[in-house]
Structure 1
Amino acid sequence: MSKTPLVLLPGLLCDHAVWAPQIEALGERVDAYVVHYGERDSLVAMAQHVLDTAPAPRFALAGHSMGGRVAFEVWRLAPERVTQLALLDTSYHPLAAGEAGENEKLGRYTLLEKAQREGMRAMADEWARGMVHESRIGGPVFEAVLDMFGRSSPAVFAAQIKALLDRPDADPLLPTITCPTLVLCGREDMWSNPARHQHLHARIAGSTLVVVERCGHMSTMEQPEAVTHALRQWLG
């Protein structure tokens, strides 16, 4: 039986490690390709890179966090190439106007300054505490997240921050998504909460919503078996 081409989109500062449990578990049925964005500083440029480097003309597409936003732009550019879509721990809204948007900018650039001053892992030790379920802080998953962020660089961080601050509003795009779609998040995801995923589910006709218990933002690493099960069902 031929394998399904599966393109995997990591989130901010993430790499292959964020998808490693799923690649191993699904290896017999998928041909997995993890995208690396380099220092591209717009979601559209990242999406075009996905389309230029994808290993097949048509593919299943899964995005985690910022990767979900890249997935929206892939769909906007070339919906005919996407056979299935999985959106994990992500969101659709643009940068807020006024004080809320300015606060987001300040928070992101404060972290960038810390990374430039003290190193990526030191920044990650502060930032990642809100990304995982509180029971995992200091444990093996938390350390793996720090290692992953530590492999990146301030230049990549700066580029990806710019991409996120310039993000398009994906909400009008949601009703145009017609392929089989999985929407998944951790119950305790403080970055992209279940209410946002319920909105995605309501706006994407026929989508499936999965909320993973005892899980923060890094669902693929925190609860790999639950995420793999949902992806297996989604792949059909």
Structure 2
Amino acid sequence: MKISQMVMVPGLLSTADVYRPLIDALGKDVFVAETRLDDTIEAMARRLLDEAHGRFLLCGHSMGGYVALELLRLAPERVAGLALIATSARADAPEQTAVRLRLIDMARRRGIEEAAKLLEPKLFGPRGGGEALRRLNLEMAREIGTDVFARQQEAIIARRDQQEVLAGIDVPTVVVAGTADAIIPPQRSQEMAAAIPGADLVMLNEIGHMVPLEAPGETHAAVAGLQARVAAA
């Protein structure tokens, strides 16, 4: 099966703009998955399978990583290479679910901007923030809106544990994380990389959760390295 494109899956409250530096660097043949219409991670993955073409390289950030792992469970033959960025293979923990439900309630009572501003201090690390990125984060939140935010959070809460999928991944894989990620502990990336045969692990010092925006050069290097491994396989 021919490798046709790079597929990128955005995370919670993110649009295609979260990948803009990477898309600009890659230049072409990039497809950004739709994650705003479905109420389960599985439905997002099935939509991606229907809309993407052929066999592809798959890149998932945060919630996008949950979608990527679900797609691998459903149709591993469609994936030629995998990049997992600031994400986890574990199911939602009770304390995480409680925070998500509070954020949904806040967004519905006070608006999506208030929820986004509450999340903001946890999104960026000491090296990767800046006013421009914070403005972009708020713009993406406005575009997503409260209803989609709630739907995405509920999908994340109900997602399945994918740890058993990891050992069966047999394509070139890179796992990327920031050491200052306050949303998903970087240890989750370390354990994923250890569980996936032959996976590369890239840890970015003082970078937070929004890796593609905070560290665009390092993210591109990791993805370019993955492309080279796939081409050589």
| TM-score normalised by length of structure 2 | 0.93
Q: 1:3 to 1:180 in 2, by over 3 A?
A: closer
Give the whole-Å Cα distance in 1 for the aligned partners of 2:121 and 2:223.
26
* Residue 22 of structure 2 corresponds to residue 22 of structure 1: yes
Give the whole-Å Cα distance in 1 for the aligned partners of 2:89 and 2:152.
16
C-alpha deviations, 1:195-236, integer Å up to 9, x for none?
111111110001100011221000000111111111111110
Shift of 1:91: 0.3
Residue in 2 that maps onto 1:206: 198
Q: 1:59 to 1:3 in 2, by over 3 A?
A: closer
Q: Percent identity?
A: 36
Shift of 1:140: 1.4
Equivalent residues, number: 227
Give the whole-Å Cα distance in 2 for the aligned partners of 1:148 and 1:203.
33
Give the whole-Å Cα distance in 2 for the aligned partners of 1:120 and 1:39.
17
Q: Is the 8 A contact 2:127 2:207 kept in 1?
A: no
2:59 equivalent among 45, 58, 62: 62
Aligned CA RMSD, in angstroms, stands at: 1.6
Residue in 2 that maps onto 1:170: 162
1:184 equivalent among 173, 176, 182: 176
Residue in 2 that maps onto 1:215: 207
Q: 1:195 to 1:104 in 2, by over 3 A?
A: closer
Alignment of structure 1 residues 43-62 onto 2, 5 Å = 43-54=41-52, 56-62=53-59
Q: Is the 8 A contact 2:3 2:80 kept in 1?
A: no
Q: Is the 8 A contact 2:128 2:207 kept in 1?
A: no
Give the whole-Å Cα distance in 2 for the aligned partners of 1:194 and 1:25.
25
Partner of 1:144, secondary structure, is helix
Q: Is the 8 A contact 1:129 1:137 kept in 2?
A: no
Shift of 1:186: 0.8
Give the whole-Å Cα distance in 1 for the aligned partners of 2:126 and 2:195.
31
Question: Which ranges in structure 2 are unaligned for 5 or more consecutive residues?
Answer: 229-233
Q: Is the 8 A contact 2:125 2:207 kept in 1?
A: yes
Give the whole-Å Cα distance in 1 for the aligned partners of 2:227 and 2:129.
32
Shift of 1:108: 1.1
2:152 equivalent among 145, 160, 183: 160
Partner of 1:94, secondary structure, is coil
> Which amino acid in 1 is paired with 2:81?
Q
Shift of 1:115: 1.4
Residue in 2 that maps onto 1:85: 82
Question: Which ranges in structure 1 are unaligned for 5 or more consecutive residues?
Answer: none
After TM superposition, what 4+ stretches of structure 1 lie above 2 angstroms from structure 2? 103-106, 134-138
C-alpha deviations, 1:2-39, integer Å up to 9, x for none?
98500100001111100000000111xx4001011223
